[in-house]
Amino acid sequence: MKEKEIIEKLEDIEEQLRFYQQLGADFLVLPDRPAGGERPAGGLIGLKNEPENQIVQSGEWEKLLQRIKGCRFCPLFQGRTQAVPGEGNYQAKLMFVGEAPGRDEDLQGRPFVGRAGQLLTKIIEAMGFKRQEVYIANVVKCRPPENRTPRPDEVKACSIYLLSQIDLINPKVIVALGKIAAEFFLQANKSMSEIRGHFGQFKDIPVMPTFHPSYLVRNEGNREIKRLVWEDMKKVMKLLESS
Ligand code: URA
């Protein structure tokens, strides 16, 4: 094996171990990244994270957020504390899309802030990003009662918002977290195990379906699921690096 290949392999292994550590594998003690050796969050893959590109409240965004916050397109508005439009970098190259807000999200008005959200943040950081450098949204913007799965009519009523967000951001890659998001983009009538790990396409944007972080939380001890998610995220990172 050539020196370059060995270094690449070692980097690969280190990334993977770091990922497991981020997900709570406390038994792993990894050295801090050497000064200057850290993957610049977003830098390596060219995320446009210059200050002038950060969270600019442009007119269009402002209008969209207000519409979402006041939406009454489906009955879910009746049960919400507040709608959860999404958050992050309006110029993000990488977008994560989940299912719908849960209890914590409904209370705070922010996506993925509960247990699954903390895990998602770790995944994002293991990929070399800061949370605020990507964009995080859900298919449905209001919490369904008892966190039930959103119904097709609710998904349809809400779809205009996610489509507008994707239009405005125009990300290079979308990660679809779980079945509802995967179905939204790929209309695949297959199980997550079958479709995860393979890029699909939504309006020319590559979409990587992977397991929902809540599924990882529910199967905390299952290393195989973690490994599969990390495999999927490596494909995403590779695509971003080459684009
Ligand atoms: N699950 C989701 O799908 N979205 C959230 O924002 C939180 C949990």
Q: Cβ(101) to ligand 1 under 6 A?
A: yes
Q: Beta-carbon neighbour count of residue 26 at 10 Å?
A: 7
SS (HEC) of 45-90: CCCCCCHHHCCCCCHHHHHHHHHHHCCCCCHHHHHCCCCCCCEECC
Tell me, in angstroms, the distance from the centre of ligand 1 to residue 177's CA. 9
Q: What angle do CA 217, 183, 152 make, to 5 degrees?
A: 100
Q: Cβ(98) to ligand 1 under 6 A?
A: yes
Spans of all domains in the chain: 56-242
Token couple for 114: 């509960």
Token couple for 65: 């957020």
Q: Cβ(105) to ligand 1 under 6 A?
A: yes
Distance between CA 212 and CA 215 in Å, rounded?
5
Tell me, in angstroms, the distance from the centre of ligand 1 to residue 50's CA. 28
Note the pTM of the prediction, 2 decimals.
Answer: 0.82
Per-residue pLDDT of the chain (243 residues; tens, 9 = 90+): 676 776 676 677 777 777 776 676 655 656 555 444 444 333 323 233 333 334 445 689 999 999 999 999 999 999 999 999 999 999 999 999 999 999 999 999 999 999 999 999 999 999 999 999 999 999 999 999 999 999 999 999 999 999 999 999 999 999 999 999 999 999 878 999 999 999 999 999 999 999 999 999 999 999 999 999 999 999 999 999 998
- Name the residue of 192, 214, 218 whose CB sits within 8 Å of the most ligand 1 atoms, as the mutation to test its pocket: 214
Radius of gyration of the CA atoms of the chain, in A = 18
Q: Which residues contact 80 (CB under 8 A, 6 or more apart)?
A: 106, 142, 143
Helix 152-169 to helix 179-186 angle (10° resolution) is: 70
Tell me, in angstroms, the distance from the centre of ligand 1 to residue 239's CA. 25
Q: Given the CA of residue 98, which atom of ligand 1 is nearest to it?
A: 3
Fold of 56-242: Uracil-DNA Glycosylase, subunit E (3.40.470)
Contact 158, 117 (CB under 8 A): no
